[in-house]
Amino acid sequence: MSSFVPGLKASMLYKYEVKAKGGLTFLKADPYANAAELRPGNASVIADLRTFKWTDSAYMQSRKKKSFKKEPVFIYEMHLGSWKNLRRKPAPFTTTGSLRQWWLTMSKRWDIHMWN
């Protein structure tokens, strides 16, 4: 589904309004946005990609030579509950609490602000 809203311009902020049962309303950032507001804000930003100057040509060329099935991958979004294996006693690092503690420690080191 797409919409056209007249009068919108590049660099304007926006969010989706989600209406839940019981009359609750939530404002959510666009998970597919091309730009986002800097913290502490979290709105999506209208971006005009026609004027964007891409600077990743060297990376795009080097990517053709790599096998992503054989190289390490850094995953920065994860569902912590999926690390739990309920059929066996969990290893120390696979419990939600220990993984959460590790992630909070690393987020402070990397200066990433997140919810507790």
In angstroms, rounded to a whole number, what is the distance separating the alpha carbons of residues 85 and 91? 9
Sequence length of the chain is 116
Could you tell me the pLDDT band of residue 15, with boundaries at 50, 70 and 90?
A: very high
CA gap 115, 98 in Å, rounded: 16
Question: Is residue 3 over pLDDT 90?
Answer: no
Q: What is the DSSP letter of 90?
A: P
**pTM metric for this prediction:** 0.48
Mean pLDDT value across the chain? 78
Residue 37 buriedness (CB in 10 A; 0-12 / 13-18 / 19+) = middle
pLDDT tens-digit series, residues 75-106: 667 666 665 555 655 555 555 566 677 777 76
Between residues 62 and 93, which one has the greater pLDDT? 62
